[in-house]
Structure 1
């Protein structure tokens, strides 16, 4: 099982992460990890802070000098340039509706309502992307591929169909400033964002994550807390801004008859196949060998330039919420963060089932398992 711990604050000197449980012998492609971190910070509608934060991961444990994992906890940190600019130390007695200001200050008895956001901020998700990128690289060793897309921003929806051509459209999406593969929809989304900027408002949206090649048998129905759909949902719902998670056609399932919704089996060319994937690759809390399909829905950023009705606790009067530097939309970044969290869960359950101290041990265990179960899908 993987464990992931973080330390540091949004405007502190460093953000620090420790990823525990990655086996020895995994060669880390630091260029890939850096590219994912940079992908998180770019995107149309991001705030000014992303213009000066460098977000360069520094690894200080768990790797050899040639970037091969040793089996020890992997330690990494990211310097906050904003710390050097004096970005910490503000005081507020006015909570932003939708943020952690109010609830966090009650819990920890803070007079300064900005303090909860130092840990609740989406800024810390840069650590999730680093840890998730390591998990994605681990899963690649077993031919598991991870894809992520934006499917809506504000009132603009993008029709992304899950198909065998997902690799080609993913390459187009990651070159887009809003993580969509179709130029005509990129223009519509940018127009939606421009309108929100003009109105001094923020936008929510949704996204899609697909993992191809995940083997059947990860997760467990014998314990509620080991069901893999529950683990995925918890991992995603704890991302700032995310308000709903859907696996497969989960929402549509409530409108179907059982005879229409469930994915049929059939035999073609000596292989047992499925006629659809409405379940999103998970049945009974266990992966079934089909693609993992996860959708998320995120609220607009709660820091709104035009302000929303709030109160001043110090003066005990009604006011509008104050504005601090923030984004207009973060859905492209959240799509990557969700993919990172899902990859973490899949890698963790993969290690639970096939775990060993070295990557070679895990490959031996995995290959033995696949060979022993092959009769379930091929004759």
Structure 2
């Protein structure tokens, strides 16, 4: 079974992940993984930290040259900002320097009471979205492997604030190149300028802004996932993973939030045409009964505004119980753009996990052959 654990703090020495269950004999493209890390660092509305960090992954185990061996893989990303925080994090803070004022909307207060260390700094270091750097690296490794299996994952910003980008086919490269070149990962240039102005307004007023992300996955064969148990459903697994990303508050598959449609309009009609089964629409987002149906898997993730804001709102000093104003910690103004890259790669991990459940293989060459044979059998029946 594919699984991983990650560790590390926002300003600690490094972020680390150990991945177990990847098949052997896959040639890893190091540039591919580092490119995904670089994509995560870009985006309009990013804070000053991204100008300092230049994320690159190192592999400490599980490879022979660039080829996987089937052994557990260790991945490491060093934090360049660590040197600036050694004195702060190297020893326990004096009592008057411990952080006691939580930021509303963040994990500060719940972590303070849950773990009882007496310093919100200990919570901040692990709840920070910096953790998504190593998860992106893990996902990029999986995404690299999926592409070799003919499965592509792409994303775009669906909205920021109240401004929505138009829907386009992201698997037409001309469209996707425009999205990749956009500072807010939008297709429409006019919408891009409007969104950038909105982010600027938030920055000037000490505020933040959220939005939504569209993910599309092409090439997953029919039959991945299962309806036999609640925890085997493909959409359940993807929902769990996406909801674990910092700031994500809702997930939608296909047109699932359109509760005004009638069943006759929502259900994706099935037909046989030109030697294959086709659908009239994809309102189910490529998943029926927790199982992939052969269409593109499509989902939207909704991200709240980042809770760290310069604008003053009410909070409480947890030690003195006095009503005070919130405190500010360095952060982005908008996290939607980098989150789109993070979610691409997080979905890649979950999809590869499901693929390996459907096609158990210890050797990548065996995996590729099994999927090829299955596709040929299913789509020629």
What TM-score comes out, normalization by structure 2 length?
0.95
Q: How does 1:329-368 map to 2 (within 5 A)?
A: 329-368=334-373
Q: How far apart are 1:356 and its partner, in Å? A: 1.2
Partners of 1:284 and 1:35 in 2: how far apart? 35
Which structure 1 residue ranges, 5 or more long, are not aligned? none
Tell me the SS of whatever aligns to 2:64: coil
User: Does residue 80 of the first structure (1) align with residue 79 of the second (2)?
Assistant: yes
Q: How far apart are 1:375 and its partner, in Å? A: 4.2
Q: Deviations over 1:205-245 (max 9, x none)?
A: 11101011111111110010000100000000011000000
Q: State which of 315, 320, 328 in structure 2 corresponds to 1:315.
A: 320
Which structure 2 residue ranges, 5 or more long, are not aligned? 90-96
Residue-pair matches, total: 373
In structure 2, what is the equivalent of residue 325 of structure 1?
330
Q: State which of 278, 282, 287 in structure 2 corresponds to 1:277.
A: 282
User: Does residue 259 of the first structure (1) align with residue 258 of the second (2)?
Assistant: no
Tell me the SS of whatever aligns to 1:315: coil
Q: Deviations over 1:86-133 (max 9, x none)?
A: 274473100111111111111111311221121111000001111111
User: Does residue 43 of the first structure (1) align with residue 49 of the second (2)?
Assistant: no
Partners of 2:375 and 2:167 in 1: how far apart? 31
Asked if the contact 1:232/1:342 (under 8 Å) is kept, the reply is: yes
Q: How far apart are 1:370 and its partner, in Å? A: 2.1
Partners of 2:293 and 2:333 in 1: how far apart? 39
Structure 1 vs Structure 2 CA RMSD? 1.4
User: Does residue 214 of the first structure (1) align with residue 213 of the second (2)?
Assistant: no
Q: In the superposition, relative to structure 1, how do residues 244 and 21 fare at CA in structure 2: closer, same or farther (>3 Å)?
A: same
Partners of 1:91 and 1:176 in 2: how far apart? 41
Partners of 1:263 and 1:219 in 2: how far apart? 19
Query: Which sits farther off after the overlay, 96-105 or 151-160?
Result: 151-160
Partners of 2:367 and 2:47 in 1: how far apart? 42
Asked if the contact 1:156/1:192 (under 8 Å) is kept, the reply is: no
Partners of 2:133 and 2:237 in 1: how far apart? 21
In structure 2, what is the equivalent of residue 8 of structure 1?
8
What TM-score comes out, normalization by structure 1 length?
0.95
Q: How does 1:116-155 map to 2 (within 5 A)?
A: 116-155=123-162
Partners of 1:369 and 1:291 in 2: how far apart? 18
Q: How far apart are 1:285 and its partner, in Å? A: 0.4
Q: How far apart are 1:53 and its partner, in Å? A: 0.9
Query: Which sits farther off after the overlay, 346-355 or 263-272?
Result: 263-272
Tell me the SS of whatever aligns to 2:327: coil
Q: State which of 199, 205, 227 in structure 1 corresponds to 2:205.
A: 199
Query: Which sits farther off after the overlay, 179-188 or 126-135?
Result: 179-188
